[in-house]
Amino acid sequence: MKKVALITGGTRGIGKQIALTLAENGYDIAINYRKENEEVNNTRKEIEEKNAKCFLVQGDVSKFEDCERFIKEIIAEYGRIDVLVNNAGITRDMLLMRMKKEDFEDVINVNLVGTFNVTKNVIPYMMKAREGRIINIASVVGISGNAGQTNYSASKAGIIGFTKSLAKEVASRNILVNAVAPGFIETSMTDILKDEIKEEIAKMIPLKRMGKTQDVANVVKFLSSEDSSYITGQVINIDGGMLM
């Protein structure tokens, strides 16, 4: 029986690339999405072309009841979840002086509370199986901070603390919990930046380029595999050397 990987917010960007890469590497895939749109069915087709199953579940990760329901749907379909990738995330960038309370709360609720909501509902199945991998998508700004991102940086720093604490709680059950901290990766999240800003960013990066979604997916593949069976509670930066 194939192992099953769940990727939240996995119909585009980094999450989609992770789903495709794990599908290529022998996993069946479950993808959570928030809203029905063309991306959802296109992603399913692309995954099925890799000879993997793709089960799609709708739900807003910031809502605990949604997560409770869609995890049960995945278990009813596949009977297991071996790898959880907490990828769903949003930004609402603004200097603190002008940031609305809702912009702070929304980002914390999706990125950090969402990671709790999904993990809390998946972990009993991993405990029972006495194995599992959880990979949380943090960000370098959760380590370095970034002007205009107090909400986002706080959510990602929170994810790092969550990762390390949970790693300690569940290590005895052979459940490994790690985070990756991408730098600037080319996706719709960074497409909103003007070209001049992207060029300035590339100049600051030792490897002199923005990252690709595949750069992140490769590390997630490693953290899902037997090759990383002695690694837990770590944060791996994927940022071309930007933060050292």
Q: At residue 10, what is the residue type? A: G
The set of long-range contacts for 198-204, using a CB threshold of 8 Å and a minimum separation of 24, is 204/242
Interface residue with ligand NAD, options 67, 90, 135, 242 (CB under 6 A) = 90
Question: What is the spatial distance between Cα 211 and Cα 122, in angstroms, rounded to a whole number?
Answer: 30
Please state the closest distance from residue 213 (CB atom) to ligand NAD, in A.
7
- Binder among 5, 6, 7, 12 for ligand NAD (CB under 6 A): 12
Nearest distance in Å: CB 71, ligand NAD: 13
Q: With respect to ligand NAD, which residue has the nearer C-beta, 166 or 185?
A: 185
Query: Distance (Å, rounded) from C-alpha 225 to C-alpha 214?
Result: 16
The CA distance from 99 to 186, in Å, is 25
One-letter amino acid at 9 equals G
x/- contact string, 21-60, with ligand NAD (CB under 6 A)? -----------x-x-------------------------x
Of the pair 97, 192, the CB lying nearest ligand NAD is at 192
Angle, alpha carbons 113-7-126 (nearest 5°): 80
- 45 vs 226, beta carbon nearer ligand NAD: 45
Residues designated catalytic: 152
Helical pair 114-129 and 150-170, crossing angle rounded to 10 deg: 10
178-197 binders of ligand NAD (CB under 6 A): 182, 184-185, 187-190
The distance in angstroms from the start CA to the end CA of the chain is 41
Binding site for ligand NAD (CB under 6 A): 8-9, 11-15, 32, 34, 60-62, 87-90, 110, 114, 137, 139, 182, 184-185, 187-190
